[in-house]
Amino acid sequence: MTNKDFCKGLKELRINLEGVVLITTNEFRRGAKIEFNGEPYEVIEFQHVKMQQRAPIVRTKIKHLKTGSVLEETFKAGDKFNTPDLEAKTMQYLYGQGDSYVFMDMENYEQFFLSAEQLGDSKKFIKENMEVKILYYRGSPLTVEVPMFVELKIAETAPGIRGDTATGGSKPATLETGAVIKVPFHLNEGDVIKIDTRTSEYIERVR
């Protein structure tokens, strides 16, 4: 085995001596979870930048999973981070109460609150009685992971234009959760549509 193959194998394992999975800036993606300064964060934006006569950097926006606060940080390309030890549990969203959202553990029926800041953009895609994944960190609930795709009803939009299905234009539509997205002109109030929760984009009409 060559030194190159050996190093490649170590990179693929990405496990440190304590058994914690590592992630490098080269593996950043939206939604990636890292530990930074001993706290759990989620990568929400990143940009790889090549510097003239200097090492490349990665400009990053990361969201604190406990508080919802967002930091702008610049890392060196190739910097390594521990991934937080997160546990996902299936919960049911019950209702919103002011700036708080109430969830119920499906196993023991225990109820608890998460703040709007903790939910972030996820709050745009959850409706009452929907089952979601709650991420726990060291025994405490942190945030919600919604499915990659959800189906929601259009609550308010301008009337559809019959036959206008291939122009490529769009109009704003308010969904049953209160989120506002762009949809094709021909859709109407009451239509159920599929949305990509990663990008808040319309995918297709379901019914």
pTM: 0.68
Q: What is the pLDDT of residue 6?
A: 45
In the predicted model, is pLDDT for residue 42 greater than 80?
yes
Bridge-based pairing of strands 149-157 and 131-137 is unpaired
Cβ neighbours for 183, distance < 8 A, ≥ 6 positions apart: 154, 157, 170, 171, 172, 173, 193, 202
Please state, in angstroms and rounded to a whole number, the distance separating the CA atoms of residues 139 and 73: 27
Q: How many CB atoms lie under 10 A from the CB of residue 162?
A: 8
Structural domains in the chain?
Answer: 3-82 (2.30.30.30), 86-145 (2.40.50.140), 149-205 (2.40.50.140)
Q: Bigger pLDDT: 10 or 30?
A: 30
Looking at every residue in the chain, the average pLDDT score rounds to 86
Q: What is the pLDDT of residues 85-107, one digit of tens each?
A: 889 999 999 999 888 999 999 88
Q: What is the pLDDT of residues 115-153, one digit of tens each?
A: 888 888 889 999 999 999 998 998 888 888 888 899 999
